[in-house]
Amino acid sequence: MTGLANVFRYGGQALCAAAACVVVAACDSSGEPDSVAPPAPPTSPAPPTGPVTVSDVVTTSEASRFLSQATFGPSSVDVGRLETVGLSAWLQAEFSKPQESFLQQILLAEASGVDVGSDELSEAFWTRAILSDDQLRQRVGYALSQLFVVSYEDVQIERRPVLMANYMDIMSAGAFGNFRQTLENVTYSPAMAIYLTYLQNQKADEERQVVPDENYAREVMQLFTIGLLELQPNGEPRLDGAGQPIETYDNTDVTELAKVFTGLSWGGRDRFFGNPDTLESEYLPLEMYDDQHSPEPKTFLGTTIPANTDGATSIDIALDALFDHPNTAPFVSRQLIQRLVTSNPSPAYVLRVATAFEEGSFAMPNGQVAGGGQRGDMRAVIAAILLDPEARDPAMMSDPFFGKIREPVLRLTHWARAFGVSEIDVDAARVFRDTTGPDRLGQQAYRSPSVFNFYRPGFVSPGSESADQGLVAPELQITTASSVTGYANFMERVVTGNASDTAFLPDYADELSLANDPAALVDHLDEILTYGSLDAATRERVIQAVSSITSDNGGFTRDERRVQAAVWFMMTSSDYIIAR
């Protein structure tokens, strides 16, 4: 390691080694998702013993923990506000906020004559994640983007940033919308149509040897709605008479459903073939051209669409069938729990959230109801996830089955929000243009290597202790020896402000005021980064390491070096990287 690891040698190696030991021990060397075999069913943790009442009133540490799950990271202002208003009122206020648009930012850049590309998409995401007041919507939209994956690693999408920005807005809108509407918006999105190759998908023609593209038909079932195996309402697999899991669909279902997604092309035009004539076509919903839509009857998942049904009606019927499928509520609910709270939710937790999905409403601690009572209302789903006893019970923080690896993107945004970053400019801070490399974060929003996201929800790390316990650990799929070292070195540049002279710069004023008292400094960081859960041994090592810094060096004062070291040690510790 470089930088802080050398400047602050005392204590640093032990802390980094501890973090690396925890997260690397269970890595898969390939990092490649399995696109065929279903994930092994995990051994689910036990739910909290006895009834747990979720209170609206939270302490500072509890507020920090809640906001770590519900936002891109708590700031001191966020924590104070949540302590004042309580959980229910905070959620209600978030649900009422206007949506901040990625598309608008990109269109303004286009109108100004800027040569817009992937850099502007990166900047738009970091700006929303770090500076937006619309935090819950943006965080849940990001979670949805890891379910409905579209990536501008695809060169056809990268060169059309307006198209991608519109898709990012679809995800944000879906955070508080209805899941059925989001499914429709995704289906008619030109970004998804390019990514999963059904743009200008034609009906079968034996003479020209044309068959409908099956890509979207397969993934809309496998990844977006019902999954590979039939589920009970609590997310556990259904078993046949021989005790074996039951597959949800077969190849005939894929072939038949593929006929539904024929006839779609760019919107705002009068012809099926060719590229868009205007910028608007890149963000308008796709249009159906019935002369290119398959006229045959289509039978899949027990649903039959009669012959000669028009294309738009065929899609409505198909999406209704997927949305109403008994698998959809538990399949989607479990993955959203994984993205926000814990990798291995108990069946009872999944059932409670799936019930909120089905009913479209959820009673919050203050007696008011989240959601309007329609199946798939995401306000009910998100409230159910974040206010569940398993999410809020402080005792769960000591449960070895509970929690998740904090994904790298969320570590960076948490740091930025906690320490007052106020300027986002990827031209000034070029390292933030693309953080997917293992020498950086190993991840960047909306830049997944495939439709299977950066990691699979059912990833089980071979040869690990978590695998022996039957636990999944999705984020470990992108955790390797090189990525752990790369993250530590990357965060050294970020924490010390060496990633840029003008952007992504922290404000450590509060921390500098505590630099003379290393114990108080570490306790302060524990409160805002690990919500009071820092292990006693880790705390003592960080205090000793910070106390050992007694002089100015490298252009920084002693106090600046102490603060930088403390922040870096905390953010590379296993206590921080494992979020409970």
Tell me: do 408 and 538 sit in the same domain. yes
Residue 232, judged by CB atoms within 10 A of its CB (0-12, 13-18, 19+), counts as middle
Determine, yes or no, domain membership for 179: no
Please give the C-alpha separations between residue 544 and each of 118, 168, 518, in angstroms, as whole numbers: 43, 45, 8
End-to-end CA, the chain:
28
User: Are residues 442 and 297 part of one domain?
Assistant: no
C-alpha span between 417 and 146 (Å, rounded): 22
User: Does residue 302 sit within a domain?
Assistant: yes
The three-class DSSP label of residue 164 is helix
One-letter amino acid at 36 equals: V
Q: Write down the mean pLDDT value for the chain.
A: 91
pLDDT tens-digit series, residues 192-226 = 999 999 999 999 998 889 999 999 999 999 999 99
Does the residue 21 lie in any domain? yes
Cα angle: 193, vertex 196, 197; to 5 degrees: 70
Domain of residue 233: give its range: 196-326
pLDDT tens digits for the chain (580 residues)? 334 333 333 333 333 433 333 333 333 333 333 333 334 444 445 554 445 679 999 999 999 999 999 999 999 999 999 999 999 999 999 999 999 999 999 999 888 888 889 999 999 999 999 999 999 999 999 999 999 999 999 999 999 999 999 999 999 999 999 999 999 999 999 999 999 999 999 999 988 899 999 999 999 999 999 999 999 999 999 999 999 999 999 999 999 999 999 999 999 998 999 999 899 999 999 999 999 999 999 999 999 999 999 999 999 999 999 999 999 999 999 999 999 999 999 999 999 999 999 999 999 999 999 999 999 999 999 999 999 999 999 999 999 999 999 999 999 999 999 999 999 999 999 999 999 999 999 999 999 999 999 999 999 988 888 889 999 999 999 999 999 999 999 999 999 999 988 999 999 999 999 999 999 999 999 999 999 999 999 999 999 999 999 999 989 999 999 999 999 999 999 999 999 9
Which residue is associated with the tokens 């979020």? 579
Q: Which residues contact 379 (CB under 8 A, 6 or more apart)?
A: 95, 176, 362, 370, 371, 372
Helix (H/G/I), strand (E/B), else coil: 186:
helix
Q: How far apart are CA 426 and CA 378, in angstroms?
A: 33
Residues 440 and 544 in one domain: yes
- How far is Cα 555 from Cα 355, in angstroms, rounded to an integer? 57
End position of a domain, from candidates 308, 326, 344: 326
227 to 147, 255, 331, 354, 473: CA distances (angstroms)? 11, 17, 7, 15, 18
Question: Long-range contacts made by residues 486-489, C-beta under 8 angstroms, separation at least 24?
Answer: 486/437, 486/438, 486/439, 486/440, 486/442, 487/408, 487/411, 487/440, 487/441, 487/442, 487/572, 488/1, 488/5, 488/16, 488/19, 488/568, 488/572, 489/1, 489/2, 489/3, 489/5, 489/439
Residue 40 covered by a domain: yes
Coil, strand or helix: which one is 558? helix
Do 535 and 409 belong to one domain? yes
Residue 160 in domain: no
- Out of 291, 326, 361, a domain closes at 326
Chain center to CA of 124: 16
Strand partners, 214: none
CA-CA distance, 408 to 489, in Å (whole number)? 13
Q: Based on the domain organization, do 456 and 315 belong to the same domain? A: no
435 and 524 inside one domain: yes
Q: Do 420 and 565 lie in a common domain?
A: yes
Tell me if residue 15 falls in helix, strand or coil: helix
Claim to verify: residue 570 and residue 445 sit in the same structural domain = yes
- Rounded Cα distance, 392 and 53, in Å: 9
**Residue 152, helix vs strand vs coil:** coil
| Residues 421 and 319 occupy one common structural domain | no
Work out the burial of residue 439: count CB atoms within 10 Å of its CB; fewer than 13 is exposed, 13-18 middle, 19 or more buried.
middle
440 and 556 share one domain: yes
Asked if residue 409 and residue 263 are part of one domain, the reply reads no
Domain-embedded: residue 363: no
Question: Which residue pairs, CB below 8 angstroms and at least 24 apart, start in 55-58?
Answer: 55/87, 55/365, 56/86, 56/87, 56/88, 56/89, 56/364, 56/365, 56/366, 57/86, 58/82, 58/83, 58/86, 58/87
In a domain, 111, yes or no: no
Shared-domain flag, residues 417 and 538: yes
DSSP assigned state of 402: S
Which of 272, 301, 326 marks a domain boundary? 326
> How many structural domains does the chain have?
2
Indicate if the alpha-carbon torsion angle 554, 559, 565, 571 is positive or negative: negative
Helix (H) or strand (E) segment spanning residue 546: helix 536-547
The burial class, CB within 10 Å (0-12 / 13-18 / 19+), for 425 is middle
Q: Kindly state whether residue 554 falls inside one of the protein's structural domains.
A: yes
Concatenating the DSSP letter of every residue in 63-88 gives HHHHHHHHSS---HHHHHHHHHH-HH
